[in-house]
Chains A and B, each alone.
Chain A
Amino acid sequence: MPDRYLQVVEPTDNVATALRELEAGETVSVGVGDEERTVEIAEDVVFGHKIAIEDIASGETITKYGKSIGNATEDIPAGTWVHVHNVESNYGRGDLADDDQAKVISE
């Protein structure tokens, strides 16, 4: 039986949301569509936070709701906590905008 406290929204997602606290070292069963996947938890994860349910390479898309929620900024092995320390957004990125534009605004 998949753990009902690990929720995957769409079968194409590579992250699951923890609806209970997860402990480093525990092995969990994640329901992904009709399949079941076994993942070993790499570190403690608090309620509401996410874990990778497959190995994700640096730069790859993090998928939830079947859509991109950003890119991995480092390699994220399955069972690892996925949060602001290893994911970056692709929206409203003035820091990536044209240098001159940013300069004009800041003056």
Chain B
Amino acid sequence: MSEFLGYERDDGSVGIRNHTVIVSTAPYANDTVKRAADIVEDAIPITHPLGRCQTKPDVFQTYRTLLGYATHPNTYGAVVVAHAGEIVDGDELAEDIAETGRPSDSVNIHREKGVMNALKRTVNSAQEIAQDASAQRRVPSDMSNLTFGINCATSDTTSGLCQHKATAGAVWRLIDDYGGRGCFAETPEFFGGENELAERAVNDEVKEEILERVGHWDERLQATGYDVRGAQPTPDNMDGGLTTIEEKSLGALVKSGDGPIQDIIDYGAKIPRDSGMYIMDTPGHGAESVTGIGAGGAHFMVISTGQGHTLSNAVMPTIKITGNPGSAERVPEETDVDVSEALVGDESFEWATDQLWDEIEEVVNGKVTLSEALGESQFAIHRIGPST
């Protein structure tokens, strides 16, 4: 299959979903956003605790992340809800969304004289966008349009030995055979394997950038005055047999395969359109990392898990794969693909890759993942510095 059925956008991207999103620009608009999304069928609320009293680098990161969701390939259109005059400006955000050809509207609670009027306007706008979205049909599109997001979650010692190999096999199949893109992340989880990773960079500039960013995370952690062992590996990682951050990292890097790295990009930045493998500089915190990769425009995310995890994203479908036979049994609602037979049975890793690839083909053509069917999703924007 070299084509999938997707939704074409005016900006040249192609989506695998056709969402209407309602975006909050500050905590004080979150309730209005959630209430409107409850009323409008299939509308996705984007809420968070940020958007004000932030320093410049943090504001840029928050704005970029919100814009990334509102203009994601899987997004048809968006309504922005602001509280008053905020550092993340609602009108500006709505204008930037409109520039990609997507329908957008800007609602401001103060301008509307309160939450009730703002809610009514938000519902009416989102309703109109959702109805227009429902009239759009899927059309054949080249697989090269797809971007494959990769993250691990609740890793254990099976992760690096099994499921990450299947994930690596599938992402490089998309890149090498179809001309698509891949993006992995979680920079602090390069500790211990950073030199080998940097050697995969396409040039010296990217190589230096990778090492510099890994070093920066090490410095940030040391500057807290505390031992990273208090935070990494996490208790669930340790239950699953992981002993140190280095061991977790060396296993985690298996999911990226061994092919060339094109670039390392900022948190929430758009993943480049050229074919190849990219890194996004994110923390190892799954909810923050996945939120960043979603903002970058990955169409779907493969979450490679050892012990099982609810981690998922509303705009970018998440496919969960495990190679731990106990986890597949323990948390079936969080196991889209079970490849444990490649670890403790007689199947090969090629078989495991095929299992995952088959599921990806289904999902990009419209099959909902387990977390989509359950309405599970988390959203957490990484922040750089303190509030003011």
Shortest distance in angstroms between A5's beta carbon and chain B's nearest beta carbon? 7
Shortest distance in angstroms between B220's beta carbon and chain A's nearest beta carbon? 9
Contact B344 A92 (CB under 8 A): no
Q: How far is the CA of A84 from the CA of B228 in the complex (A)?
A: 13
Contact B157 A50 (CB under 8 A): yes
Contact A95 B250 (CB under 8 A): no
Is B224 engaged at the interface, CB distance under 8 Å to the other chain?
yes
Residues of chain A within 8 A (CB-CB) of B343 are 19
Shortest distance in angstroms between B341's beta carbon and chain A's nearest beta carbon? 12
Contact A64 B238 (CB under 8 A): no
Q: How far is the CA of A17 from the CA of B241 in the complex (A)?
A: 8
Range of interface residues on B (Cβ < 8 Å): 35 or more
> Knowing A7-B161, A17-B161, A48-B157 touch, does A95 contact B226 (C-beta < 8 A)?
yes
Contact A67 B192 (CB under 8 A): yes
Partner among A5, A20, A87, A105 whose Cβ is within 8 Å of the Cβ of B243: A87
Contact B193 A92 (CB under 8 A): no
Contact B225 A105 (CB under 8 A): yes
Partner among B221, B222, B244 whose Cβ is within 8 Å of the Cβ of A87: B244
Partner among B224, B232, B306, B326 whose Cβ is within 8 Å of the Cβ of A94: B224
Residues of chain A within 8 A (CB-CB) of B192 are 67-69, 91
Contact B246 A89 (CB under 8 A): yes
Greatest chain A CB density within 10 A among B218, B250, B343 is at B250
Shortest distance in angstroms between B339's beta carbon and chain A's nearest beta carbon? 14
Contact B160 A84 (CB under 8 A): no
For chain B residues 315-364, which have a beta carbon within 8 Å of chain A? 324, 326, 343-344
> Knowing A82-B243, A91-B191 touch, does A105 contact B223 (C-beta < 8 A)?
yes
Whose C-beta in chain B lies nearest to the C-beta of A90? B246
> Knowing A17-B241, A19-B344, A48-B240 touch, does A92 contact B250 (C-beta < 8 A)?
no
The A/B interface has a contact count, at CB < 8 Å, of 114
Residues of chain A within 8 A (CB-CB) of B240 are 48
Q: How far is the CA of A88 from the CA of B221 in the complex (A)?
A: 16
> Knowing A17-B161, A19-B343, A94-B221 touch, does A83 contact B228 (C-beta < 8 A)?
no
Whose C-beta in chain A lies nearest to the C-beta of B251? A65
Contact A106 B225 (CB under 8 A): yes
Is B229 engaged at the interface, CB distance under 8 Å to the other chain?
yes
Residues of chain B within 8 A (CB-CB) of A94 are 221-228
For chain B residues 84-116, which have a beta carbon within 8 Å of chain A? none
Contact A69 B241 (CB under 8 A): no
Partner among A18, A70, A102, A103 whose Cβ is within 8 Å of the Cβ of B247: A70
Q: How far is the CA of A91 from the CA of B245 in the complex (A)?
A: 7
Contact A89 B228 (CB under 8 A): yes
Residues of chain A within 8 A (CB-CB) of B326 are 47
Whose C-beta in chain A lies nearest to the C-beta of B246? A69
Is B58 engaged at the interface, CB distance under 8 Å to the other chain?
no
For chain A residues 32-73, which have a beta carbon within 8 Å of chain B? 46-50, 62, 64-65, 67-70
Residues of chain A within 8 A (CB-CB) of B250 are 64-65, 67, 69
Q: How far is the CA of A83 from the CA of B221 in the complex (A)?
A: 22
Is B156 engaged at the interface, CB distance under 8 Å to the other chain?
yes
Q: Can you name 20 extra interface pairs (CB under 8 A) apart from A91-B228, A92-B228, A94-B222? A: A19-B344, A20-B344, A46-B241, A48-B240, A49-B157, A50-B241, A50-B243, A65-B251, A68-B246, A69-B192, A69-B247, A83-B238, A84-B238, A87-B244, A91-B221, A91-B246, A93-B228, A94-B224, A97-B225, A105-B225
Q: List 26 interface pairs A-B (beta carbons < 8 Å), by A numbering.
A: A9-B160, A18-B241, A47-B241, A48-B157, A48-B241, A50-B157, A50-B241, A62-B243, A64-B247, A65-B250, A69-B244, A69-B247, A70-B244, A84-B229, A87-B243, A88-B229, A89-B244, A92-B217, A92-B228, A93-B227, A94-B226, A94-B228, A95-B225, A97-B223, A101-B222, A105-B224
Q: Which 6 pairs of residues, A with B, have the shortest CB-CB distance?
A: A92-B228, A102-B225, A48-B241, A92-B221, A89-B244, A69-B247
B residues with CB within 8 A of A? 156-158, 160-161, 188, 191-193, 217-218, 221-229, 232, 238, 240-241, 243-247, 250-251, 306, 324, 326, 343-344
A residues with CB within 8 A of B? 5, 7, 9, 17-20, 46-50, 62, 64-65, 67-70, 82-84, 87-97, 101-103, 105-106
